[in-house]
Amino acid sequence: MSTPTTYAPAKQFVGIANEVAQGTPVDMTATLLLDSFKPKDQPKFLEDKAWRGAMGTDSFAQIPGVATSDLDLGGPVFLDGLGYLLRNIMGDLSVTGTSTGSGGTTLSASAAAGATTISTAATIPDGTVVQIGTGATAEVFTTGTPTGSGPYTIPLSTPSGGLVYSHASSQPVQPVTGPYTYAWALLNSGTGQPISHTLTHMLGPTATSGARQYPGACFSEMGFKWNSESDLFTFDAKATSWPSVPLGSAPVANPGSVAPIPSWRMAVGIAGPASGGTLISTVTDGEISMKREINPYFTGNGVQTPYIIQRAGLTVEGKLNFVAADESPLLYMLNNTQPQLQLLISNGLSGLNAGSVQFDFAKAAFVEAEPDGSKTAVEYSNSFKAVLNTTNAGGSGSYSPCKISVTCNIAPGTY
């Protein structure tokens, strides 16, 4: 008697990779550690209901129309994978490293966006990881073999593609190491369209590879939740992609070693950073919700897949629940103070293992504050909306509702 063919869901995994062209699938380069992934192909069927003299109201034909896929995913936040999703929904990225404390120099000439070499006052050895610039336009590269006798021409070997931002002469060029801090803001330059991704789902039934790919994925929602008493720091997200395609050969899971973070490590700062005199120690739990309008466009080009999945505006809002020490949560709303809000969750480690996620809102408008006297201590449940501002804007300028920074030891160019 032969054994029936079945597939164990426990063996499934999800991979992700940056796309060069939206909708063109690429092999996974990283494993997303999830505990929920629900893909759904969404072909549209066009019905032929033209009268034929029959006493039926069903269609006489179901004709294939256009197609997309919907993706619903979530799980604990792992710092090494979070950056892919943030870049997809926000777009603007700056990178800073941890200074080595030596070998620093400056640009001896301005450098344009797209440049694959820089000119420096002092030479930099081949294979050095350097940070060019500071703040919202900082970026990190590994150098190639220098040439010249001063000023020196320094190739930017990796990541490929050259500088993302332009840099003025005399900006610092500093050797750095990990951990690195990746800061995401709303992309406002060019077309305003962030990168898209291919998600690979290894589930089992697909012939040959056991996996299907979902190319062109664009995220429309991303939420974060924490509860100090009971939960890990978690996320959930929704995306729309091209319809799935079978993968030719079996993918291999390559999960990282970074651990998720318990919610009790979340620190909240109001009217200042989440430290010192502006640290608020009474927040029990909360959430942040990011929503981005997206729309697949279809054209008469002979294919069922989208011409583009277009990203439009981004909105960010959240909730905080307080144990009432005073009326401050209520007064944030009544006085419309729109204070600075910072949320910082860290893994508590040091050196290359140090990791954190930091949410910065230069202006948080508290729009609801509901007192709750039904529990063992009086509580307030507050809702806030992010206010667009220039303080949180990235290198692409203009305005951003917030800035989200992730510190981890992942090589620059990964996201």
Do 155 and 291 lie in one domain? The reply is no
Do 28 and 121 lie in one domain? The reply is no
Do 199 and 269 lie in one domain? The reply is yes
Tens digits of per-residue pLDDT, 360-386? 999 999 999 999 999 999 999 999 999
In a domain, 55, yes or no: no
Q: pLDDT-derived band of residue 312, with 50, 70 and 90 as boundaries?
A: very high
Tens digits of per-residue pLDDT, 241-288? 999 999 999 999 999 999 999 999 999 999 999 999 999 999 999 999
User: What is the DSSP secondary-structure string of 11-54?
Assistant: G-EEEEEE-SSTT------EEE--SEEEEEEEEEEEEE----S-
In a domain, 329, yes or no: yes
Query: Is residue 295 within a helix (H) or strand (E), and if so which, with residue range?
Result: strand 283-297
Do 125 and 22 lie in one domain? The reply is no
Do 163 and 283 lie in one domain? The reply is no
Tens digits of per-residue pLDDT, 116-172? 999 999 999 999 999 999 999 999 999 999 999 999 999 999 999 999 999 999 999
Type of residue found at 70: D
**Residue owning tokens 């332009």:** 166
Query: Of 125, 148, 178, which closes a domain?
Result: 178
Q: pLDDT-derived band of residue 391, with 50, 70 and 90 as boundaries?
A: very high
In terms of residue numbers, what domain contains 104? 98-178
In a domain, 4, yes or no: no
In a domain, 396, yes or no: yes
Span 293-317, mean pLDDT?
A: 97
In a domain, 349, yes or no: yes
pLDDT at residue 404 tops 90: yes
Q: pLDDT-derived band of residue 188, with 50, 70 and 90 as boundaries?
A: very high
Do 237 and 361 lie in one domain? The reply is yes
In a domain, 45, yes or no: no
Tens digits of per-residue pLDDT, 123-133? 999 999 999 99
Q: Determine what percent of the chain is predicted with pLDDT higher than 70.
A: 100
Do 326 and 401 lie in one domain? The reply is yes
Between CA 354 and CA 349 the distance in angstroms is 5
Q: Determine what percent of the chain is predicted with pLDDT higher than 90.
A: 99
| Residue 406: C-alpha distances to residues 1, 142, 190, 206 (Å) | 54, 20, 24, 35
Query: Of 178, 207, 224, which closes a domain?
Result: 178
| Residue 407: C-alpha distances to residues 99, 183, 293 (Å) | 14, 9, 28
Do 148 and 23 lie in one domain? The reply is no
Do 238 and 136 lie in one domain? The reply is no
In a domain, 57, yes or no: no
pLDDT at residue 2 tops 90: no
Do 322 and 384 lie in one domain? The reply is yes
Do 268 and 200 lie in one domain? The reply is yes
Rounded-to-10 torsion of CA 330, 336, 337, 338: 100
In a domain, 53, yes or no: no
Tens digits of per-residue pLDDT, 74-88? 999 999 999 999 999
Tens digits of per-residue pLDDT, 8-37? 999 999 999 999 999 999 999 999 999 999
Do 367 and 230 lie in one domain? The reply is yes
Tell which residue, 385, 270, 281, has the closest CA to residue 323.
281
* Tally of domains in the chain: 2
Query: Of 178, 204, 237, which closes a domain?
Result: 178
